[in-house]
């Protein structure tokens, strides 16, 4: 167990070794996916707003960016978990990650099969942003990992960044309203 400068025991819930292991797994999966695409119909190109008039983003970029993105978010999660005033558990972080993955997979499956429920799923996500801190790194990582197969990694990273900003604003607004409306305890 690590100790801090003040000699208090420090938690190490997401160690460097675990972060590297997860990042390596993601790297192998994305490059395996790229190798599969290359040997079959070629590397797909994804277009912003699904419009060929917009610039195309080949999956190669996602294979390069996703490992760095994964490690960066895992580092942020680890840093937050290891703070002395943190009250979140690793189990909660894992549940949030899988929540992000499940929502992303549901949107990906509905998009790939032409099922017109994507708008409803996104609406549900926006409603949940009033209750849960959907801007946190584990939700974002789950979102990107869950949708990378269908949309590549770059578009979910860009879209997810915008969503995280919106979700942060919503969550902070709700917190401010709660603070104003709650009775003053003196």
> 51-68 pLDDT, tens per residue?
889 888 899 999 999 999
pLDDT tens profile 82-115: 988 888 999 999 999 999 999 999 999 999 999 9
Cα 82 from Cα 63, distance rounded (Å):
29
Contact yes or no for 144/181 (Cβ under 8 A)? no
Question: Domain locations in the chain?
Answer: 10-180
Q: What long-range pairs does 12-16 form, CB within 8 A, spacing at least 24?
A: 12/82, 13/78, 13/81, 13/82, 13/89, 13/90, 14/74, 14/77, 14/78, 14/81, 14/82, 14/90, 14/93, 15/78
The first and second tokens of residue 26, run together, are: 């993601």
Q: What is the pTM of this model?
A: 0.87
């Amino acid at each position: 167990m690590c100790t801090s400068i003040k000699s208090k025991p420090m938690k190490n819930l997401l160690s460097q070794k675990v972060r590297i292991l997860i990042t390596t797994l993601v790297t192998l999966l994305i490059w395996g996916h790229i190798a599969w695409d290359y040997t079959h119909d070629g590397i797909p190109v994804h277009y912003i707003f699904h419009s060929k008039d917009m610039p195309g983003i080949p999956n190669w970029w996602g294979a390069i960016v996703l490992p760095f993105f994964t490690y960066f978010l895992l580092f942020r999660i680890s840093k937050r978990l290891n703070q002395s005033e943190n009250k979140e558990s690793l189990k909660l972080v894992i549940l949030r990650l899988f929540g992000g993955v499940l929502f992303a997979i549901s949107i990906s499956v509905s998009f790939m099969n032409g099922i017109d429920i994507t708008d409803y799923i996104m609406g549900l996500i926006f409603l949940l942003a009033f209750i849960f801190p959907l801007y946190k790194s584990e939700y974002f990582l789950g979102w990107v990992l869950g949708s990378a197969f269908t949309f590549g990694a770059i578009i979910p990273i860009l879209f997810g960044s915008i969503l995280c900003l919106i979700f942060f604003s919503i969550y902070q607004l709700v917190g401010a309203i709660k603070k104003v409306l709650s009775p003053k305890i003196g």
